[in-house]
Amino acid sequence: MASISQELREAVLQAAIQGKLTEQLPEDGDISQVLNACEADKANSIEQGRFRNEPFRGKIIDDTIIPFDIPETWAWMFISDMSLFQEGPGILAVDFRKSGVPLIRIAGMQSKVVSLVGCNYLDPNMVQKRWNHFRLDLGDIVISTSASMDKIAEVTEESEGAIPYTGLIRFKMYGGIDKEFFKLFLQSPFYMHQVDEQKAGGMIKHYGPSHLKKMMIPIPPVPEQHRIVARVEELMAKIDELEKIENELKALHQAFPGDMKAALLQAAMQGKLTSNSDYIEYRYGDLFDISGGSQPSKSYFIDYPKDGYIQLYQTRDYGPKPVPVYIPKEKATKRTKTGDILLARYGGSLGKVFLAQEGAYNVAMAKVVFLNPSIHDNKYVYYYHLASEYQNFCRRMSDSRSAQAGFNKEDIYDLTYNLFSLAEQHRIVERLDKLLPLCDSLQTEL
């Protein structure tokens, strides 16, 4: 199963080649300019003997083969009409030499540039006679089309003049098409879908120039190609950051087996999410008090807002199906401000923790009272009550007495509370705010 970051990369690339990441601008010019330039460049390649004499097919207008809509300012083209491509020759091992012209192998395709790692060498005189037209030029794009099909690299001065081995195909752009845009296309789900439809073979799947001639590409005006490349780079940088977080979560899951959210919260309360893990261990009752809720007789309840009334929050009102009730303000003896922490005390809700809204709260909940608010980050205290120390306490209460009996405030006072510096609490909260939303998706993946 693909990771969240990988799914996002694929979604961005697909959106990019469908024209969904950028605005189409009148000043970008007419796509016919690109088509005419490609036609001229292809004709020049044929004249130089670098391409078989085949017609330029131009803009694809057959709706029966067009896979999805693109902006009106774009054009569908066959890849063979917007680039020259050529697969490297199959050369026998008997022709390898200890030095000479490098023969690029798949080992040299492991980064963004073509390298000489793992290359063989060919006799320069033999290259001149038989394979000189395969020599790589500076700026060529080379892809692997057998075994490892996800390798895309550019020719630099190191590999200029080398020969690509069979299974590697080099490209040259026609019509001033941005080669960075083409690289994005080669990584897109649509391109890989075309590859999957065309590739052949038994144990090792592959495809070649004859398959590429059947493949299509959506082409925007060149200025928009540049904007697409810049936008994708911007989004990919953000996805890279997300991937780091995703990998951290997976590592935490391995270090703390079980429910991922619980593991993450446990790690946070132990100082394992941030660089500074210094804390002082306190007794809960030395830092906090608990204030139980109250409510008047139900004869005072109404089910609609009214001047002089205040909402009485119950545990159900912090769930997906709230049923609001309102009571006279003078009857609301226990109130919360927005952001106060409420603990469910009874029944099946025991262990639930809520960030309160402004209002009153009933007997089924208790408010956490900070004895010294200046030393606490409110959100950190909220996360503490979601973590194992408090949650295990609630489970013990459920096991040791009827769940409906709940707990008294004295029961909670002997819990252990790790107090970090206020700045460290802020950092822990920042990390949890980023990591926790990913847990559900990653839990499913793992």
Read off the pLDDT of residues 216-232 as tens digits, 9 standing for 90 and up.
Answer: 999 999 999 999 999 99
CATH domain 280-419 topology: Adenine-n6-DNA-methyltransferase TaqI; Chain A, domain 2 (3.90.220)
How many angstroms separate the CA atoms of 385 and 392, rounded? 10
Q: What percent of the chain has pLDDT over 70?
A: 92
Q: Is the pLDDT of residue 257 over 80?
A: no
Taking Cα atoms as reference points, which of 216, 209, 116, 106 lies closest to residue 156? 116
Taking Cα atoms as reference points, which of 1, 2, 4, 53 lies closest to residue 439? 4
Q: Quick check: 430 and 268 in contact, CB under 8 A? A: no
Read off the pLDDT of residues 324-382 as tens digits, 9 standing for 90 and up.
Answer: 999 999 999 999 999 999 999 888 889 999 999 999 999 999 999 999 999 999 999 99
- Average of pLDDT values for 102-112? 95
- Tell me the three state secondary structure of residue 177: coil
What does the pLDDT read at residue 260? Answer: 73
What does the pLDDT read at residue 80? Answer: 93
pLDDT band at 243 (very low <50, low <70, confident <90, very high): confident
Q: Quick check: 78 and 57 in contact, CB under 8 A? A: yes
The burial of 188, by beta-carbon neighbours within 10 Å (0-12 exposed, 13-18 middle, 19 or more buried), is given as buried
- Tell me the three state secondary structure of residue 58: coil
Taking Cα atoms as reference points, which of 225, 239, 242, 237 lies closest to residue 16? 225
Q: CB atoms < 10 A from the CB of 150, how many?
A: 10
Question: Model-level pTM?
Answer: 0.64
What does the pLDDT read at residue 252? Answer: 66
Higher pLDDT, 416 or 48: 416
Angle CA(185)–CA(40)–CA(42) in degrees, nearest 5? 55
How many angstroms separate the CA atoms of 18 and 145, rounded? 24
Domain boundaries defined on the chain:
280-419
How many angstroms separate the CA atoms of 142 and 150, rounded? 11
Element (H, E) at 280: strand 280-283
How many angstroms separate the CA atoms of 403 and 347, rounded? 5
Q: What is the CA radius of gyration of the chain?
A: 33
The structure tokens 């499913």 sit at: 444
pLDDT band at 2 (very low <50, low <70, confident <90, very high): low
Lowest mean pLDDT among 185-189, 214-218, 245-249, 427-431: 245-249
What does the pLDDT read at residue 208? Answer: 87
Q: Quick check: 353 and 385 in contact, CB under 8 A? A: yes
- Average of pLDDT values for 404-416? 83
How many angstroms separate the CA atoms of 67 and 64, rounded? 8
